[in-house]
């Protein structure tokens, strides 16, 4: 008996849906309250029309209250509802009515706009079906209304927002992207692809690897670091400037911005959305500015808002003794902590748009030395006229500040110079006669007593006398150079003086197998002193001969070039050369020699430099050991 009950129960459960449906239908037929509940709770109005008398239509109370009318005042006539339907929608209703009448499978289902009593639009989804007689002729029609105004308003709001964002994206020329961080799924718009010279369809199927394939490999690591900062909450948004490879092989700069918009249950990022903007031209402009700053002959540096270096000139590094250090990207306060406290206030003021100057400020350097600086803080603006950071121009005025101290010493120095000049005159004139007398007495002694000629002491006296005479002669030449400032410079042909000197040393050059090459143009003339030029040519050419190399065919070459108001005489050789790292500071000093030559006196270059400067010129030298030397002599150019 129990088994039979289970079978019956199972059978009933299997037909439960049909059973309940049939029961519901029976209840609706028997109980009007149930039917009214359904139409009031589920629908926004129903209607029932007699198709044989088309003007007769029954409409539920909810039908009219949906449009703001009192049902008691509204007639059950077709013209009543037709008067509040939009005319273009009414045409669509008639067309659908005809189609449904002809073919029951063609649904009567459309969106219709009604005019509310208060004047606003009510959107209705209107559905219905026709009841037909045995021949299939439509005789009645039942319809149901669903108010979808709220949905339509949201759709319109969404449409306007979408149109707005599309306009913003098109107006700003932005590429957009959506990225599922966990699966790698990505969605790009057409502009994203255009930035790298592609059509979106060329990149299909797209994924995060699509971006990586076109990314500049060196920037990926930086981008990943910024992404992790955003994922872990260190930054509110992800923002990264990076390079992308264009389809044509060039490099384009882009600015990516994005934000995580959804997270999974474990707090891991899920979907991320963002934009991409091409900034190639602005980056080129920045690079030009950076290059200008780096090559500027003055101390200048460019910083971002956090005082991180964007660029710095070589002179800047020189002023602050920054050597062999990559400072771009580093904080100024980390690179130069000595200046941090003094400049932080000025830094903040400058970010507000203020230009700040200080004509002189004293600093104590890390080595204890005192440094005086004159500086100017000036804000620089982005393309959006926003302060992007600071440019600092700096001048080291330590030397200028020391001039005040030096001025006080000039009086003492001038007095000492007068005494030195007097001493020089005594040496050049008085001592010359005494040395001459000493030499003459030695000659008389040898004549009177020939047997002492070979005496060692007498020979030493003779050598000392000759050396003393030579030294006094050299000192006399120096004195003459410093006391002949009133002598006028004259027009001289450089080539003729060179030829004369070459002729005088030709025997020495032949003996030492050194070729002298004169490439000075015959028409080149300078303003100078003939005796000085003779001496200059003689010293430099004979030096080239004396310090020639035995390893190769030696030469001394003379050439000229014109630089503004100067003729540059270049005396070049391929001889022993000079170690300038070791000897540059004393190269033109008196009695300074750099090779073990028994005839070297260390006076030639000293005299040569003084003679050149006395004529208003200067001398420079380039030299390398065992490669040779090149002396550049700047002489006043006689253009006419």
What are the tens digits of pLDDT across the range 191-204?
A: 888 888 888 888 88
Domain boundaries, the chain: 43-153, 173-278, 289-396, 401-483, 490-636
In this structure, are residues 618 and 634 in contact, taking their beta carbons and an 8 Å threshold? yes
Rounded Cα–Cα distance for residues 547 and 596 (Å): 10
Q: Which option is the CATH number for 490-636: 3.30.70.20, 3.90.1010.10, 3.30.565.10, 3.30.1330.60?
A: 3.30.565.10
Q: Compute φ and ψ for 49, nearest 5 degrees.
A: -120, 140
Top-confidence residue, 593 or 80: 80
Instruction: Say how far residue 134 (Cα) sits from the centre of its chain.
Output: 86
Residue 412 confidence (pLDDT): 67
Confidence of residue 11 (pLDDT cuts 50, 70, 90): very low
Please compute the mean of the pLDDT values over residues 395-405 and round it to a whole number. Answer: 76
pLDDT in tens, 569-589: 999 999 888 888 877 777 776
Handedness of CA 203, 208, 212, 213 (dihedral sign): negative
Residue 38 confidence (pLDDT): 64
Tokens describing residue 504: 């005088």
Rounded Cα–Cα distance for residues 316 and 320 (Å): 6
Task: Give the closest residue to 294 by CA, choosing from 315, 273, 271, 265.
Answer: 315
- Identify the CATH number of the domain defined by range 43-153: 3.30.450.20
Which DSSP helix (H) or strand (E) runs through 200?
A: helix 200-203
pLDDT in tens, 424-474: 666 665 666 667 677 777 777 778 888 777 787 777 677 767 766 765 665
Residue 570 confidence (pLDDT): 94
What is the DSSP-derived secondary structure letter of residue 324? S
Tell which CATH architecture fits domain 289-396: 2-Layer Sandwich (3.30)
Task: For helices 431-448 and 456-483, give the axis angle rounded to 10 degrees.
Answer: 160
Rounded Cα–Cα distance for residues 479 and 614 (Å): 12
Please compute the mean of the pLDDT values over residues 404-422 and round it to a whole number. Answer: 68
pLDDT exceeds 70 at position 476: no
Q: Of how many residues is the chain composed? A: 640
Residue 574 confidence (pLDDT): 92
Rounded Cα–Cα distance for residues 149 and 485 (Å): 105
Residue 1 confidence (pLDDT): 38
Residue 218 confidence (pLDDT): 79
Q: Do strands 271-278 and 175-180 pair parallel, antiparallel, or not at all (unpaired)?
A: antiparallel
Going along 318-408, which residue ranges are E strands? 356-364, 370-381, 387-396
Q: List the beta bridge partners of residue 303.
A: 309, 390
Residue 594 confidence (pLDDT): 57
Q: What is the pTM of this model?
A: 0.35
Rounded Cα–Cα distance for residues 535 and 542 (Å): 10
Top-confidence residue, 421 or 264: 264
Residue 12 confidence (pLDDT): 38
Top-confidence residue, 489 or 230: 230
Confidence of residue 123 (pLDDT cuts 50, 70, 90): very high
In this structure, are residues 53 and 76 in contact, taking their beta carbons and an 8 Å threshold? no
Please compute the mean of the pLDDT values over residues 356-362 and round it to a whole number. Answer: 83
pLDDT exceeds 80 at position 212: yes
Class of the domain covering 173-278: alpha beta
Q: Same topology for domains 43-153 and 173-278, yes or no?
A: yes
Confidence of residue 9 (pLDDT cuts 50, 70, 90): very low
With 0-12 CB in 10 A as exposed, 13-18 as middle and 19+ as buried, what is 600?
middle
Residue 106 confidence (pLDDT): 93
Task: For helices 456-483 and 604-614, give the axis angle rounded to 10 degrees.
Answer: 20
In this structure, are residues 99 and 106 in contact, taking their beta carbons and an 8 Å threshold? yes
């Amino acid at each position: 008996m129990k088994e039979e009950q289970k079978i019956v129960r199972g059978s009933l459960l299997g037909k439960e849906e049909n059973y309940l449906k049939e029961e519901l239908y029976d209840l609706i037929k028997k109980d009007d309250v149930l039917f009214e509940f359904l139409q009031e709770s589920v629908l926004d109005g129903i209607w029932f029309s007699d198709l044989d008398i088309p003007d007769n239509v029954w409409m539920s109370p909810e039908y009219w209250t949906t449009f703001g009318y009192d049902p008691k005042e509204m007639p059950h006539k077709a013209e009543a509802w037709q008067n509040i339907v939009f005319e273009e929608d009414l045409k669509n209703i008639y067309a659908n009515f005809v189609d449904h009448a002809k073919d029951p499978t063609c649904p009567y289902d459309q969106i219709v706009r009604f005019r509310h009593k208060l004047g606003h639009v009510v959107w209705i989804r209107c559905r219905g079906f026709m009841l037909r007689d045995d021949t299939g002729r439509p005789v009645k029609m039942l319809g149901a209304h669903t108010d979808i105004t709220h949905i339509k308003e949201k759709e319109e709001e969404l449409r306007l927002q979408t149109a707005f964002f599309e306009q913003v994206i098109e107006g700003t020329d932005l590429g957009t992207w959506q990225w599922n961080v966990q699966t790698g799924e990505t969605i790009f718009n057409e502009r994203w692809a255009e930035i790298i010279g592609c059509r979106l369809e060329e990149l299909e199927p797209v994924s995060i690897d699509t971006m990586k394939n076109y990314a500049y490999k060196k920037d990926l690591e930086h981008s990943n670091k910024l992404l992790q900062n955003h994922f872990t909450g260190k930054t509110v948004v992800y923002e990264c400037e990076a390079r992308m490879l264009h389809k044509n092989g060039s490099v384009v700069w882009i600015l990516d911005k994005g934000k995580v918009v959804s997270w999974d249950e474990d707090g891991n990022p899920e979907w991320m959305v963002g934009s991409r903007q091409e900034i190639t031209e602005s980056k080129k402009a920045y690079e030009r500015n950076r290059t200008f700053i780096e090559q500027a002959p003055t101390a200048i540096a460019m910083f971002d808002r956090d005082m991180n270096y964007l660029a710095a000139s070589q002179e800047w590094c020189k002023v602050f003794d920054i050597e062999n250090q990559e400072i771009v990207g580093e904080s100024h306060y980390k690179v130069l902590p000595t200046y941090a406290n003094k400049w932080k206030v000025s830094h903040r003021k400058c970010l507000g748009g203020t230009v700040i100057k200080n004509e002189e400020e004293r600093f104590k350097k890390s080595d204890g030395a005192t440094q005086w600086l004159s500086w100017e803080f000036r804000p620089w603006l982005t393309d959006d006229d926003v302060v992007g950071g600071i440019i600092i121009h700096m001048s080291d005025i330590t030397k200028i500040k020391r001039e005040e101290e030096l001025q006080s010493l000039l009086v003492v120095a001038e007095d000492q110079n007068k005494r030195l000049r007097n001493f020089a005159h005594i040496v050049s004139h008085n001592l010359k006669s005494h040395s001459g007398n000493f030499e003459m007495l030695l000659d008389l002694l040898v004549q009177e007593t020939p047997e002492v000629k070979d005496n060692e002491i007498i020979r030493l006296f003779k050598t000392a006398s000759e050396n003393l005479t030579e030294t006094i002669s050299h000192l006399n030449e120096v004195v003459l150079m410093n006391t002949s400032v009133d002598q006028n410079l004259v027009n001289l042909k450089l080539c003729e003086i060179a030829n004369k000197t070459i002729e005088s040393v030709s025997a020495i050059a032949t003996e030492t197998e050194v070729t002298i090459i004169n490439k000075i143009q015959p028409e080149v003339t300078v303003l100078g002193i003939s005796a000085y030029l003779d001496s200059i040519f003689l010293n430099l050419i004979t030096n080239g001969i004396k310090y020639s190399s035995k390893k190769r065919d030696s030469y001394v070459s003379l050439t000229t070039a014109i630089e503004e108001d100067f003729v540059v005489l270049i005396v070049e050789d391929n001889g022993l050369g000079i170690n300038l790292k070791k000897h540059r500071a004393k190269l033109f000093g008196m009695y300074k020699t750099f090779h073990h030559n028994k005839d070297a006196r260390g006076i030639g270059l000293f005299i040569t430099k003084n003679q050149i400067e006395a004529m208003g010129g200067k001398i420079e030298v380039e030299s390398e050991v065992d490669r040779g030397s090149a002396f550049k002599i700047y002489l006043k150019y006689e253009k006419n």
